[in-house]
Structure 1
Amino acid sequence: MVEQLLREWPPGYGGVERVAHELASVWGGAVYSLDVQRQEAIGHDPLPVGYPRRRLPSTKPIARLQLPLPSRALWRLLRSQSPLHGHLPSPGVLLVLLLARLMRPQRRVTAHWHCFLEPDCTFSGCLFVLYQWLALRLVPQLSAVITTSPLLAQELQRCGCDSQRLFVLPCCLSQQQEQLGLALPVPEAHAGEPLRVLFIGRLDSYKRLDWLLAALAQLTSPWQLVVVGDGPKRPRFEQLAQRLFPQGSPVRFLGRLPETAKLDQLAAADLLVLPSDCSNEAFGIVQLEAMVAGRIALAFDQSRSGMGWVGQLPGLPWSQSPEGLADVLQHLAEQPALRQQLSVQARERYLSLFARGVWLQHLQGLGDSVVTSKVSA
């Protein structure tokens, strides 16, 4: 049994929550959360939950900084003898990990490093800089550190993490998601049909849907874009689409969809584009959802991010840069037979690197370096 701690309420819709959720499905143990989005009160989960969840009372947010308050739940977590695994980035989570380590030096306390932050020139950005500086100096003192890609592991090692206590565990899908994705046929190649592009994600600034729209505006071949997701920038992106394509817009905004409807959109697509512009997006689990379904996943190769690594295909060499997005989309739009070959490669890459069976083997391979409980399917 391994107890976990994260900022959000799992399973949620974000990558950190999804990772904690899948680990809990194998490790067991309670999952503690600061519940910054107050999901506990909503009561709706996109994925079934079979483990106990406990909320830690916390301070009101100050520039997104939220720390746990003294409480029975916090005391229970700190006094527990079970292994504790915390998900970063989060100053509140980091604080609890350090307190747990100090109170019980023999307890196995580990961290999951999900991403390197790229702060901006705001007050919040200054806090991010301070937090990350502290985190990079403190996490090497924990029992072990897990991260999601070889690229992030290399960067953590460069920043001082001992390679003997640093482990790579790529993200995974649930068994049901994997089965449903594998059941979808690879898209067939038909000349003359529009390139069917899919975007899935929170409509926020760093997702850079505007870059995807600008790239599609340069294509000379027909295309269609479906946007799945919601967020604060949705009105801005909808206005941009109307401005770029005033006559019979080939862009549809569907908002947030349930998992079954999202799968339907993947089934209707040729490829997924995840045009995030910074290392805050370090993996992109939605790429796995596309690849298991036999769909190409395009993402940028950003510094301190494994996002571009996830969907790299041997049959599609391209710059993985914003400047090269329009060219690669035009290339794919013009060659439906190539798209079909790459779709097969995408599924093969998923099965070889990210399949749930492979993930379970990697998790079991971590052994006593991270957990003491037996790992089983």
Structure 2
Amino acid sequence: MRILEVSKLYPPFWGGIETVVYDISTVLNQEGYAVDVLCVSEKNNSSKEVIDNVNVYRCANLVHLASTYISFEFIKFWQKIRNNYDVIHIHLPNPLALLAFLLFKPRKDSKIIVHWHSDIVKQKYLKIPFIPLQNYLLSRCYKIIATSHVYAEASEDLQKYLNKIEVIPIGIDEEKMVATPEAVAHIKQRYAGKFVIFSLGRHVYYKGFEYLIEAARYLDENHIILIGGQGELTQELEAKIKEYKLQDRVKMLGRISATELPAYFNAADVFCLPSVERSEAYGVVQLEAMACGTPVISTDIPGSGVAWVNKHDVTGLVVPVKNAQALAASFNYLREHPINRRQVQEYFKQHYTRSKMVDYLIKVIEGA
């Protein structure tokens, strides 16, 4: 069986969706399926690569506007290859893929599967022209994969298509989260005597890092907050740290390499995901923490799957959204009443490994 995975980007760009597409493509290939990936290149040139025995077709893009890539090469290549596959697995949101699908329809016996990672939240007015294209794809497809019941039921876009929904929780490769004892010890030594709160993500509007920084105002000097990542709000966040005089309590780490990341998760006493909007549909980074046995503090975003992933009092705590004092109180509580790290890790293994995710997907592909 030949399968085409259609994604916006693909590793070495390691975004949340891209990681899921990589894991699905790699494991499906290991299971004997012939898998290709069609995506956009971050550069203005096209290429074909083979990554872990998967063919990856990257198409040159002209411009990147409002989180959307414009690529005529993508549409041309879609037209050329679309009829070569038994299954076409399209990961949304991706307006370019919607347009390509409308312009050049695949053969009628192709099984179309849509993977609904999130609604378009911030660009809700810019998405209006694409709604008919989106509805056409959703009406044509065989199944719609949602990452949680919570998100699917809260999505206005999916209400007409709930009969097509299959819930497949995102899973990750836990082997990538193994850290050397030396690397973990080095971080623990650097912050010796501190209760280490780690957070990670792009510095963008929906991540809520400003509330995490404000939470430090309600913590004593025995706590340290480490924030990894970069983004358009980095300078604003750094200015807030200075404004509150929290330089000794909050550290901005910048980009952390994939090789260094497991050590930070393992060294942390708690991981915090302070996101504030439904753009955070799932919070894959929570799984990375849980794979290391690190308890999670996340927020109860209405209509999001974040709080569904982090099971309250089992893998961590769920607190009200946009509430710095609640975040601070949760850190203090877990310092006094720590959650067993083995319990966190066991829950992860039961629910969120990538092998479980792909096993569920194969059942959908095969129509089981």
- Tell me the TM-score normalized by structure 1: 0.82
Structure 2 distance, partners of 1:273, 1:41, is 38
Structure 2 residue corresponding to 1:347, chosen from 333, 337, 345: 345
Counterparts in 2 of 1:262 and 1:279: CA distance versus 1, 3 Å: same
Q: Which amino acid letter does the alignment assign opposite residue 160 of structure 1?
A: K
Q: Secondary structure at the match of 2:154?
A: helix
**What is aligned with 2:160?**
160
**What is aligned with 2:275?**
276
Structure 2 distance, partners of 1:252, 1:242, is 11
State the 1:59 CA deviation.
4.7
Equivalent residue runs for 1:239-258 within 5 Å? 239-245=239-245, 249-258=248-257
State the 1:89 CA deviation.
0.5
Counterparts in 2 of 1:331 and 1:199: CA distance versus 1, 3 Å: closer
Q: Which moved more, 1:302-311 or 1:280-289?
A: 302-311
Q: Which amino acid letter does the alignment assign opposite residue 351 of structure 1?
A: K
User: Which aligned segments of 4 or more residues in structure 1 are displaced greater than 6 angstroms?
Assistant: 39-43
Structure 1 residue corresponding to 2:43, chosen from 38, 53, 63: 38
Structure 2 distance, partners of 1:18, 1:224, is 29
Structure 2: give runs of 5+ residues left out of the alignment.
Answer: 30-34
Counterparts in 2 of 1:42 and 1:273: CA distance versus 1, 3 Å: farther
**What is aligned with 1:95?**
99
Structure 1 distance, partners of 2:328, 2:139, is 42
RMSD of aligned Cα (Å): 3.4
Structure 1 distance, partners of 2:241, 2:92, is 35
Structure 1 distance, partners of 2:199, 2:362, is 33
Structure 2 distance, partners of 1:267, 1:59, is 41
1:322-366 CA distance string (max 9 Å, x none) = 22x52353344255352243x343223212211234324323332
Q: Secondary structure at the match of 1:159?
A: helix
Structure 2 residue corresponding to 1:110, chosen from 113, 122, 142: 113
State the 1:166 CA deviation.
1.5
Structure 2 distance, partners of 1:236, 1:365, is 46
Structure 2 distance, partners of 1:330, 1:263, is 26
Structure 1 distance, partners of 2:235, 2:327, is 27
Q: Which amino acid letter does the alignment assign opposite residue 79 of structure 2?
A: W
Counterparts in 2 of 1:54 and 1:81: CA distance versus 1, 3 Å: same
Q: Retained in 2: the 8 A contact 1:313–1:346? A: no
Q: Which amino acid letter does the alignment assign opposite residue 230 of structure 1?
A: Q
Q: Percent identity?
A: 21
Q: Which amino acid letter does the alignment assign opposite residue 280 of structure 2?
A: E
Structure 2 distance, partners of 1:266, 1:322, is 23
Q: Retained in 1: the 8 A contact 2:138–2:144? A: yes
Q: Retained in 2: the 8 A contact 1:199–1:272? A: yes
**What is aligned with 1:321?**
321
Q: Which amino acid letter does the alignment assign opposite residue 87 of structure 1?
A: H
Structure with the greater relative contact order (CA < 8 A, sep ≥ 6): 1 or 2? Answer: 1
Equivalent residue runs for 1:53-132 within 5 Å? 53-69=56-72, 73-99=77-103, 102-119=105-122, 124-132=123-131
Q: Which amino acid letter does the alignment assign opposite residue 356 of structure 1?
A: R
Q: Which amino acid letter does the alignment assign opposite residue 56 of structure 1?
A: C
Q: Retained in 2: the 8 A contact 1:3–1:85? A: yes
Q: Which moved more, 1:23-32 or 1:154-163?
A: 154-163
Q: Retained in 1: the 8 A contact 2:5–2:38? A: yes
1:129-179 CA distance string (max 9 Å, x none) = 44357525641321111121121232359611142x321111121252255
**What is aligned with 1:6?**
7
Counterparts in 2 of 1:172 and 1:131: CA distance versus 1, 3 Å: same
1:271-328 CA distance string (max 9 Å, x none) = 11111211111111111010111111222222332112111233566543222x5235
- Tell me the TM-score normalized by structure 2: 0.83
Higher strand proportion (structure 1 or 2): 2
**What is aligned with 1:201?**
201
Q: Retained in 2: the 8 A contact 1:140–1:162? A: no
Counterparts in 2 of 1:5 and 1:151: CA distance versus 1, 3 Å: same
Q: Retained in 2: the 8 A contact 1:9–1:39? A: no
Aligned length in residues: 353
Structure 1 distance, partners of 2:68, 2:243, is 37
Counterparts in 2 of 1:243 and 1:156: CA distance versus 1, 3 Å: closer
Q: Secondary structure at the match of 1:203?
A: coil
Structure 2 distance, partners of 1:205, 1:147, is 23
